[in-house]
Structure 1
């Protein structure tokens, strides 16, 4: 979809669909001077529909007016849509993103190809300026327009081709164009993450995921280093190697680097994503029902690689490192067994009580590697525990950590992007559940507080460094459409990671 801005006369714009935004105040629609001009051309139709309560202006309401027989000189829009925005003064970036996503889904059903939106000055406020409005609207259009149909014989043919912001002010046009660019970078990064998570396991191996990282690096100028089995073995990543033992597909340890502040190496953030390209549970085999969704157990890895695509373009003044220890978790004659003891990169021994608690093992070695390379801050992202869904549902991702400033920065970034994140505690009681009789730590702490015990496990390997952990097991995939998401992969929390990094 091509999104841009132009300053042509809206009455003379040859548009398949012209959109007019309608404001409300105290639950009553308010007709702007711009809409009054269109109402006059339409012989008072808009005003009549509002008076008869057929149009309310409520947020997300879409009222279509056909104009094929309108005999007015120099009036060319084929259809007009009155788009309810609710009270302009109460709009947030999330409201706008949701409205534009709903709009593009409606437009796809109408099968129109060229759409124009007439800007309204009154929509902007100190809370939501032109820049924020345009970026959020752009994000919603791209995210709401998403579909994953590459393996279907007949792909979706109703996608919108061209969306245009109409604004006669040249300064506004410059702001809108900049915002479109930034919004597109944010949204397209999340689209990349969605695509990766939606790929079936037979089409996305650890090698394939590594190649995506290579392509991102080649296109956008960041560095990439792919460690192979012998490299990982030499470094002593016994926890990662243990998980990979059961798979015939070779592991890949992906490390991407963007140097936004070369003069200050200590000014860095490490984004570490879980990269299990298919998780059968290993010897502790998962039930067959729903196992197909385990193609998405690399959602954290997809998010950090996709975030790097955007970060490399936006160029924040910080050094960003992305790490993803990619492998499958499979049962075989060579697979890791319950009761095994492995030694992690940092020297700690781990009792593998359950081979289906594998993600935290790979994260342990990835975090040890980051610390050894001089990490100042670490944020790991993982589809880690089903307990996260029990605790928070599928609309909020829990976060844990040892640095309140870091945690709050992530939560604040999520509130801007609409990817809600909520802090859960790391208490001393659940910490004891990871105790092992035979090793330094056990990789499971039982059913009670499963998300917390998993975070406690990871925290043991993050000691001495600012660290936070987001569990996206419940938010990485949805069964049905919601807001700017469509059924399947959400791409969460890619945009939050981008927002977080550019504001550090």
Structure 2
């Protein structure tokens, strides 16, 4: 994708679609109407007030994501103009601009545009909003079409320009690059999740992590089954018993502060490349999208790609345990006891609660290395979907400052994280009569008890667990994104690394 800043008179911009913005005017004494961005206002004048006229007629009101398509008929060099609503002017944020740009860019692509120009914000441009427009466009244009026998190449945007007053301004160039890096890393994670499980096996996930690491300059280590056995990772080995596919344990290291004595941040991602439920078999409907059960791993790998390119002065280590959870004569069973690498034992109750087992080994590894804070991401429980739906990620954290930093970084990325309890009272639900911990605490507060299990393996580190079961994968296509993987967590983690640095 070719992306650049341009400085040009609006009437001279040659492109397939020029995207301009309009917001809802703040009401004053019963006044309504819209407020045009600077570029939209220039277009309106060139078209003899056509945008204002359509607004006055009620055809376009400026609601977030609402669109009005105009054909200049030679008055502008652009083939068409798409006016996109930004919502109430008083509530304009980077996220609303990001969302509106994604909607308009997707619409332009679906109508055959290959070269689009972004001017939803208008001039003068700010770095914050320039970044948001680039992110929005690249996230909105994403589609996973690798497996169609014929692909519509003529319906793919290949060039994006952002209209600014000064295309050589360093802060705007940096904003463009940051937006591109964050969006491309998010789309990399989305690709991983959307891949069919017959392709993205644990071995292939490790291979793609290694290829990405080579591309952006990260150190990479991959443990095979023999090394995992040597490290006594009983959770990872137990879950993988029923599968013909061998497990892998991926370690990526970014050394942004090589002289620091602080070992730095750890990012841990659940990497179940397919979850059948094991012997506690899921229903057919419940299994359909279980290729997405490695959404946590994908988010961590995408974040590491972005961090390596943004180069914050901080050390970051990513840990990804990956395997399949399958039923067979060699599967682990309810009633088994598994010993995690830190020595603690877990009584198995339900083989479909496998994510906490492989995460326990990864968290133990991070704690043993002295990494802090530790942040894990996992499509872990249906309980968090019941509690928060698909709009917010459940946030469990043992440190209030870290919790607030994650929420703030999420706001910057346009993602919502909601604090959940970690009270010790919940420990009663995971007490076992025959092992240190019971694998599940039952239906009540299931997302909380899952987090409490993980807390047993982080030692003294600051730690946050993000349950992305409701936010990592969407079932329906939306105006701003495809059905499937969302890439949640990638941009938040990269933003967090920048802030912690």
Query: How does 1:257-406 map onto structure 2 within 5 Å?
Result: 257-406=253-402
- Structure 1 residues 217 and 20: alpha-carbon distance in aligned structure 2, compared to 1, 3 A threshold: closer
Contact 1:119/1:167 (<8 A) preserved: no
1:165 aligned partner:
162
TM-score, normalized by length of structure 2?
0.94
Aligned counterpart for 2:243 among listed residues 238, 244, 247: 247
Distance 1:120 1:190 in 2: 23
- Structure 1 residues 56 and 116: alpha-carbon distance in aligned structure 2, compared to 1, 3 A threshold: same
1:13 aligned partner:
13
The answer to whether 1:76 aligns with 2:77 is: yes
1:57 aligned partner:
62
The aligned length equals 494
- Structure 1 residues 44 and 229: alpha-carbon distance in aligned structure 2, compared to 1, 3 A threshold: closer
Partner deviation per Cα, 1:170-226 (whole Å, 9 max, x = no partner): 454x43332121111101111111111111111111110110111111111110111
1:29 aligned partner:
34
2:115 aligned partner:
114
1:127 aligned partner:
none
Distance apart, 1:271 and its partner CA: 0.3
Distance 1:347 1:32 in 2: 61
- Structure 1 residues 360 and 139: alpha-carbon distance in aligned structure 2, compared to 1, 3 A threshold: same
Distance apart, 1:373 and its partner CA: 1.2
Q: 3-state SS of the aligned residue for 2:360?
A: helix
| Mean Cα deviation higher: 463-472 or 104-113 | 104-113
Distance 1:419 1:39 in 2: 34
| Mean Cα deviation higher: 76-85 or 412-421 | 76-85
| Mean Cα deviation higher: 104-113 or 188-197 | 104-113
Distance apart, 1:90 and its partner CA: 2.8
- Structure 1 residues 322 and 342: alpha-carbon distance in aligned structure 2, compared to 1, 3 A threshold: same
Distance apart, 1:304 and its partner CA: 0.5
Distance 2:131 2:164 in 1: 15
- Structure 1 residues 64 and 228: alpha-carbon distance in aligned structure 2, compared to 1, 3 A threshold: same
Distance apart, 1:347 and its partner CA: 0.8
Q: 3-state SS of the aligned residue for 2:242?
A: coil
Distance 1:365 1:51 in 2: 62
Distance apart, 1:106 and its partner CA: 1.2
The answer to whether 1:48 aligns with 2:53 is: yes
- Structure 1 residues 20 and 273: alpha-carbon distance in aligned structure 2, compared to 1, 3 A threshold: closer
Structure 1 gaps, min length 5: 125-129
Contact 2:33/2:55 (<8 A) preserved: no
Distance 1:210 1:310 in 2: 18
Distance apart, 1:5 and its partner CA: 1.4
Distance 2:39 2:492 in 1: 36
Partner deviation per Cα, 1:469-497 (whole Å, 9 max, x = no partner): 00111111111134643211111111111
- Structure 1 residues 349 and 290: alpha-carbon distance in aligned structure 2, compared to 1, 3 A threshold: closer
Q: 3-state SS of the aligned residue for 1:20?
A: strand
Q: 3-state SS of the aligned residue for 1:461?
A: coil
Distance apart, 1:31 and its partner CA: 4.9
Contact 1:119/1:166 (<8 A) preserved: no
Partner deviation per Cα, 1:401-438 (whole Å, 9 max, x = no partner): 21111121111111111121101101233221111000
Distance 1:467 1:33 in 2: 46
Query: How does 1:145-156 map onto structure 2 within 5 Å?
Result: 145-156=141-152
- Structure 1 residues 20 and 466: alpha-carbon distance in aligned structure 2, compared to 1, 3 A threshold: closer
- Cα RMSD for the two superposed structures: 1.9
Distance 1:121 1:36 in 2: 9
Distance 1:37 1:397 in 2: 41
The answer to whether 1:494 aligns with 2:490 is: yes
- Structure 1 residues 379 and 52: alpha-carbon distance in aligned structure 2, compared to 1, 3 A threshold: same
Structure 2 gaps, min length 5: 27-31
2:101 aligned partner:
100
- Structure 1 residues 286 and 11: alpha-carbon distance in aligned structure 2, compared to 1, 3 A threshold: same
Distance apart, 1:78 and its partner CA: 2.2
The answer to whether 1:207 aligns with 2:207 is: no
- Structure 1 residues 393 and 35: alpha-carbon distance in aligned structure 2, compared to 1, 3 A threshold: closer
Contact 2:106/2:480 (<8 A) preserved: no
Distance apart, 1:16 and its partner CA: 2.1
Distance 1:475 1:119 in 2: 27
Distance apart, 1:120 and its partner CA: 5.6
Distance 2:165 2:262 in 1: 46
Distance 1:220 1:364 in 2: 28
Distance 2:391 2:37 in 1: 36
Distance 1:297 1:370 in 2: 21
